Amino acid sequence: MGSVFLKMYKMKVRGVASLKGRVNTQGAKNAALPIMASCLLLKGQKMILDNVPNLQDIDTMTDLLRAMGVSVSRDKGTMTFDVPEDVSCEAPEHLVRKMRASSLVLGPLVARYGRAVVSMPGGCSIGSRPIDLHLKGLVKMGAKIEMRNGFVHASAKRLRGCRIYLDFPSVGATENLMMAAAFATGETIIENTAREPEIDNLATVLRGMGVKVDAEGAGCVRIRGVGETQDCRERVIPDRIEACTYILAGVMTGGEVTVDDVVPEHIDALLAKLEEAGVSFSVLPTAGNGAGYSVAVYPNITKKLRPISIKTMPFPGFPTDMQPLIVAALTKSSGVSLVEENLFQARFLYAGELNRMGADIDIKNNTAVIRGVNSLDGAVVAATDLRAGAALILAGLASEGESSVENMEYVFRGYENIDAKLRAIGADVALEAADQS
Ligand code: EPZ
């Protein structure tokens, strides 16, 4: 993504007494992206997707599918994908570089068309993110893979079902191989798969297309490939990471905030840690909203969280995408917290920015040592990735004075209308064009 584009917006955040009100959870970015890629398994058919968030990354995947010949239309939260009889099997570099999840077109293309040319994703600020497990699985299914000039060239007459063991429960590899298996001959069993809720959402879509997908207990999926698919319609699950961002905004400002359209089991890891930290909250059944539950956080008399220790792990462990958010919340705890990052080795880049706001964080190998301070000061800080940006906004809300969070484009990739949603619960925030100097 061009650096000039990155620096177009900043968010002014004034520290507040406490937030108050209700906010609704958007559809999940990390469920919608693989589901959109799966439409490439269709031929002359249609996929309708409801509850799709309005995000930069969704636009990028839309551009990619359009570049391949899919006709994509949108009416509010519903997107329609009209897939022609034939598509281009090339995923252009400029789009894959913009968003790694573009490499999720590899599995459906090579499975459905026997050919795919996809740019290698390139570097990422949170750590090295290879796709070797994606490729290894495709080779096991009979694909021929060549790397040339920064592109993956994959080809296969017809992928064959087989047993695949993933060396790591990678979300992307699980999704790519599930889509590949959907159109392979026979049965594929993928073991040590990711167990994130977004995987189940994709499995439901594949079933909607007529593919037989059975979850064989935790971490194992059995897929019987088909020769034909059918039109399908599905709803994107709520975004558990976005929901937790607003829950923590309430916690960090000692506010009374209710987040609607939450699936409690999807955020168990965070709720368990909030309990440990002494946060008062409740999970409420709420009629009329998608998932049917809400989480309400209540003002915390002591106003200080108890220190806690966290290790990020694949689901159902504590999600790495919430790591920067919970670290921001622990900057004002009543003691020393430890947060260990086990998925992405460079995911503490934002800590220096929090220290600019008066936090006291040391990074020792893959662990953040967070000594609670009494207060944070507003400052000019810069987002280094999507979740880091959100963490800096939360810290700004819990600070004295005004902060300016730069590189908001990172945040737009995963948060819909974040400024309006925060203002709706009493935040004093405003988006401004960044100085172009
Ligand atoms: C998905 O990324 C999410 N992105 C990420 O969310 C999230 O952080 C990550 O899963 C982990 O939960 C989307 O769903 C679009 P992985 P993905 O493959 O699929 C290693 C956000 O903020 N690995 O599960 O790329 C890898 O290096 C984003 O919304 C290999 O070694 O994650 C990492 O250490 C950021 N080889 C670990 O596995 C592979 O072939 C987890 O990666 C694949 C992965």
Name the closest-CA residue to atom 31, ligand 1: 130
> Tokens 């990354």 appear where?
57
pLDDT at 210 over 90: yes
pLDDT of residue 5: 47
Q: Is the pLDDT of residue 250 over 80?
A: yes
Ligand 1, atom 28: nearest CA belongs to which residue? 321
Regarding the beta carbon of 244 and ligand 1, being less than 6 Å apart is answered no
Which one, of 281, 278, 219, lies nearest residue 244 by Cα?
281
Burial class (CB in 10 A: 0-12, 13-18, 19+), 55: buried
> For residue range 18-46, what is the model confidence (pLDDT) as tens digits?
899 999 999 999 999 999 999 999 999 99
Return the residue whose CA atom lies nearest to atom 4 of ligand 1. 30
Nearest CA to ligand 1 atom 3: 30
Does residue 162 have an active-site annotation? Answer: no
Q: Give the predicted TM-score (pTM) of the model.
A: 0.96
pLDDT of residue 436: 57
| Cα 61 to averaged position of ligand 1 atoms, centre (Å) | 17
How far does the centroid of ligand 1 lie from the alpha carbon of residue 399, in Å? 32
**What would the mean pLDDT of 171-183 be, rounded to a whole number?**
98
Neighbouring C-alpha atoms within 13 Å toward the C-beta of 281: 30
Position 426 pLDDT exceeds 70: yes
Query: Is ligand 1 within 6 A of the CB of residue 387?
Result: yes
378 lines ligand 1 (CB under 6 A): no
Phi, psi of 77 (to 5 degrees): -85, 5
Q: Is 184 exposed, middle or buried (0-12, 13-18, 19+ CB in 10 A)?
A: buried
Please report how many Cα atoms fall inside a 13 Å half-sphere around the Cα of residue 170, on the Cβ side.
24
Distance from Cα 105 to the centre of ligand 1, integer Å:
16
The reported pLDDT for the residue numbered 3 is 44
What are the percentages of helix, strand and coil residues in the chain, rounded to 5? 35, 30, 40
Is the CB of 133 within 6 Å of ligand 1?
A: yes
**Ligand 1 centroid distance, CA of 358 (Å):** 31
State yes or no: pLDDT of 225 exceeds 80. yes
Q: What integer pLDDT is reported at residue 301 of this predicted model? A: 58
Taking residues 402-415, report their average pLDDT.
97
**Does 129 contact ligand 1 (Cβ within 6 A)?**
yes
Average pLDDT over residues 178-195: 97
Is the minimum distance from the CB of 410 to ligand 1 under 6 angstroms?
Answer: no
Task: Say yes or no: CB of residue 132 within 6 Å of ligand 1.
Answer: yes
Provide the total of helices (H) and of strands (E) in the chain, helices listed first.
15, 26
For the chain, the maximum distance between any two Cα atoms, rounded to a whole number of angstroms, is: 65
Answer yes or no: are the C-beta atoms of 27 and 239 closer than 8 Å. yes
CA torsion angle 297 300 306 307 (round to 10): 60
The pLDDT-based confidence of 113 (bands split at 50, 70, 90) is very high
Instruction: Give the active site residue among 39, 89, 124, 162.
Output: 124
The answer, yes or no, to whether any atom of ligand 1 lies below 6 A from the CB of 173, is yes
Q: How far apart, in whole angstroms, are the C-alpha atoms of residue 432 and residue 9?
A: 6
Nearest protein CA to atom 14 of ligand 1, as residue: 30
Mean pLDDT of 225-236: 97
Going by C-alpha positions, the residue among 56, 76, 63 that lies closest to residue 37 is 63
Closest ligand 1 atom to residue 314 Cα is 12
Q: Which residue has the higher pLDDT, 5 or 117?
A: 117
- Choose the residue to mutate in 30, 99, 410 for probing ligand 1, maximizing ligand atoms within 8 Å of C-beta: 30
Instruction: Please tell me if the CB atom of residue 383 comes closer than 6 angstroms to any atom of ligand 1.
Output: no
- Quickly count: other Cβ atoms within 10 Å of residue 284's Cβ: 14
- How much is the pLDDT for 2? 44
Residue 385 CA, closest ligand 1 atom number: 22
Decide: residue 299, CB within 10 A, 0-12 exposed, 13-18 middle, 19+ buried.
middle
Ligand 1 pocket check for 386: Cβ under 6 Å: yes
CA of 101 to the centre of ligand 1 (A): 9
